[in-house]
A and B are shown apart, each in its own frame.
Chain A
Amino acid sequence: MVPDASKRLVTSNRDESAFEELFRSHYRAVNSYVTGHYTGLDVDDVVASTFQVAWQRFDEIDADSARAWLIGVARNLIRNAARSHRRRARFLDALVAARPTVSVELAGRRVSPEDLDVLQTAFGRLRPAEQEILLLAAWENLDRAALGVVLGVPANAATVRLFRARQRLRRFIAEEAGE
Chain B
Amino acid sequence: MSERPDPLVILQEIRPVADHRRLEYGEVPHAEALLAHIVERDAARPSHVLGRPRRPLAVAAGVVAASLVVTSAAAALWWQSRSTDHRVLACYAGASTDADRYELQIDAGDDPVAACAVLWTDGTIATAGQPSSQVCSTSTGTTAVVPGDDPSACALAGLELFDAADGDGATLDDQRTVDRLSTRLVESFVDVCLDEQASRAAAESVLDDEGLDDWNVVVAVPFSAQRRCGAADVDAAERTIMIAAIPPAPTGGG
Contact = CB atoms under 8 A, between A and B. Distances in A.
* Interaction A to B: yes
Nearest to B70: A8
B24 A36 contact: no
A47 B23 CA distance: 14
Contact of A135 (B11, B21, B56, B77): B11
Contact-residue bracket for chain A? 35 or more
A3 B5 CA distance: 55
Interface residues of B, number: 102
A55 B21 contact: no
Contact of A29 (B20, B103, B104): B20
B132 interface: no
Contacts of A53: 97, 158
B11 A138 contact: yes
The interface residues of chain A, by DSSP majority, are classed as helix
A28 interface: yes
Interface string A101-123: 00000111101000110010011
Nearest to A105: B13
A41 interface: no
Contacts of B122: 4
B246 interface: yes
Please indicate which of the listed interface residues B80, B100, B105, B190 has the most CB atoms of chain A within 10 Å of its own CB. Answer: B105
A16 to B, nearest CB: 5
A95 B14 contact: yes
A124 interface: no
Contacts of A137: 8
A177 B1 contact: yes
A36 to B, nearest CB: 4
Given A32-B20, A139-B16, 5 more contacts: A24-B25, A48-B34, A48-B37, A80-B159, A106-B9
